Amino acid sequence: MQALIYTEARNKLNKIIDKVNENNEPYLVVGSKGRKDAVIISKEDYDNMVENLYILGNPRWVKSIKKGLKELDEEKGKRLNSFEALVI
């Protein structure tokens, strides 16, 4: 993760936004003059993070995912592509 001080990040904000979207690499903005640190990430990465937290926050879904992964490891399940998963 790249780190920039607040002033530099402010001056390069357009470039930083482009880079986080191109590379999916977050930037740490180090606060100055009493400001707290912050992280800049792409909206896509943010949405993925929120979705993962939502899923992991549901114990039944986590149990179901673990069961499915175990079945795959034991060769009892079938891996589906995205289209097959939607049809089922």
pLDDT tens readout for residues 53-65? 999 999 998 998 8
Average pLDDT over residues 26-40: 93
| Residue 2, beta-bridge partner list | 27
Assess whether 48 and 67 both reside in one domain. yes
Examine the pLDDT at 39 and tell me if it is beyond 60: yes
Assess whether 69 and 83 both reside in one domain. yes
Tokens of 59: 């114990």
Examine the pLDDT at 37 and tell me if it is beyond 70: yes
Assess whether 31 and 64 both reside in one domain. no
Assess whether 57 and 82 both reside in one domain. yes
Residue 75: predicted pLDDT: 80
Taking the complete model, does pTM exceed 0.85, yes or no? no
Assess whether 52 and 83 both reside in one domain. yes
